[in-house]
Amino acid sequence: MRFNPFKKKVAAPENNLSSPDEWLVNTLLGANSSSGISVTPITALGVSTVYACVSVISKAIASLPLSIYSIAEDGDREKAYNHPLFDVLNLNPAKNMTTSEVIGAMVGNLVLRGNAYALLSRDGLGNVRSIVPIEPSDIQLEIHAVTNEIDYVVNGKRVARNRVLHLKGLSSSGVLGFDTTSLAKDTIGLAIALQDDVASFFKNGARMGNILMSDKNLKAEQVMRLKEAFDSRHKGSGEGYKTAILTDGLKPFTERFSYQDAQLSEQKKISTQEIARTFGVPLSKLQIESATPRANVEESNRDFVTSTLRPIVVGIEQALNLNLLSQSQRKQFVIDIDMDHLLRGNLEARYNAYRIGRDMGMLNVNEIRRFEGLSGIGPDGDIHLQPLNFVKLGSEPESRDEETPEETEQ
């Protein structure tokens, strides 16, 4: 491979370890946190809160319906059953993998690492026939310094740009997403340190039995004699909870190390909240704070859908349409991830909103049906209703020219 001064390598597996890229150091050795813990994507998943956040987001998006639709001139959409991509997107995008498994794997990498990749195979006509997720550590990027165009090298082999689907998270350049575990290394590192401390506490047997104190300076022989005497009367099955008579100035030490104290629960709670905030997941989704009022839970769930899930879904949709459809196909077809049922709220509230919109003349029947993913009913469905008791501001109400029969009789 000839040297190109206008390209820079990113995440190269063959980098020299005497002068490695930061990405390679973080992947192999982990990003060093302020707590002294090395944080990698794998060690981060060992923190239950991190795993739960990644799992909640990836499973939620992987469960959404994904399909390709044909677009009619009037804006109506129908599933494009005959398009080559239909079976790929709906049934079998990769060998031995379902659509939800492929999407779940890619979203998991996207959320945790900031980037997700898939290898696309195409037929002779350029139609995508499979979408196979790639482990981020198996891919190398060569970025052109002037144009920001990317060349991809997978397992040491260069592949055409149109054969790689690249999903990006938060980014400063739009070329490569930030690695979440590196950005949040201090928060995640603290969580790992707390887990290690708790595990070490119990591993080393930090659970004390009976403790006796004395104001006197007891000799070793006296200590052993008192211990043996106490144990003989109060140790063993059936001997507990008996009244103890203490002599030689002995008195019980009643303070105990509780599990809550040993676990440093307040620090752990703060750590959990910080990790959840980093990933944009409400605590109620992590089975935490079960006593939260239902109204607050519903509001936080709506925020989770609109602020966390929707931006990821929109990014995936745009990437799929750009990489899987040709420019001419994008005028006739669209790949869509249906998350309407997450955004629309409950059925009663939704239908009440539609009724108000239609009665006010803001929506017609066809528009409402499209919101629900249904086809229009024809020209009659395009008619907007106008409330009869509404008049133009400043105008006089229309007077009745004819009296009603009841009024005439009077």
pLDDT tens-place string over residues 164-204: 999 999 988 888 899 999 999 999 998 888 887 767 666 65
pLDDT bin (cut points 50, 70, 90) of residue 19 is very low
Q: Is 109 helix (H, G, I), strand (E, B) or coil?
A: helix
253-263 pLDDT per residue, tens: 555 555 555 55
The answer on 237 and 128 residing in a single domain is: no
Statement: residue 23 has pLDDT above 60: no
For the chain, the domain total comes to 3
Distance CA 105, CA 43 (A): 17
The answer on 227 and 329 residing in a single domain is: no
The answer on 96 and 82 residing in a single domain is: yes
pLDDT bin (cut points 50, 70, 90) of residue 153 is very high
The answer on 367 and 333 residing in a single domain is: no
Domain membership of residue 404 (yes or no) is no
What is the pLDDT at residue 26? 54
Distance CA 355, CA 238 (A): 73
Read out DSSP for 224-257? HHHHHHHHHHH-STT-TT------TTEEE-----
Domain membership of residue 176 (yes or no) is yes
Domain membership of residue 45 (yes or no) is yes
Mean pLDDT, range 41-57, rounded to an integer: 94
Statement: residue 86 has pLDDT above 80: yes
Which DSSP symbol is given to 149? -
The answer on 162 and 223 residing in a single domain is: no
The answer on 23 and 96 residing in a single domain is: yes
What is the pLDDT at residue 74? 74
Statement: residue 6 has pLDDT above 90: no
pTM for this predicted structure: 0.70
Statement: residue 237 has pLDDT above 50: no
Domain membership of residue 101 (yes or no) is yes
Radius of gyration of the chain (CA): 33
What is the pLDDT at residue 302? 85
Q: Which domain holds residue 216?
A: 208-256
What is the pLDDT at residue 16? 34
Domain membership of residue 166 (yes or no) is yes
Statement: residue 345 has pLDDT above 80: no
Domain membership of residue 349 (yes or no) is no
Domain membership of residue 410 (yes or no) is no
Statement: residue 225 has pLDDT above 70: yes
The answer on 166 and 45 residing in a single domain is: yes
Statement: residue 386 has pLDDT above 90: no
The answer on 366 and 235 residing in a single domain is: no
Domain boundary among 256, 282, 315: 256
Chain mean pLDDT for the chain: 78
The answer on 24 and 77 residing in a single domain is: yes
Domain membership of residue 350 (yes or no) is no
The answer on 164 and 88 residing in a single domain is: yes
Statement: residue 216 has pLDDT above 80: no
Mean pLDDT, range 373-377, rounded to an integer: 78
The answer on 388 and 310 residing in a single domain is: no
- CB contact burial 312-329 (16+ within 10 A = b; e otherwise): bbeebbebbbebbbeeeb
Domain boundary among 317, 343, 369: 343
311-329 pLDDT per residue, tens: 999 999 999 999 999 999 9
The answer on 240 and 389 residing in a single domain is: no
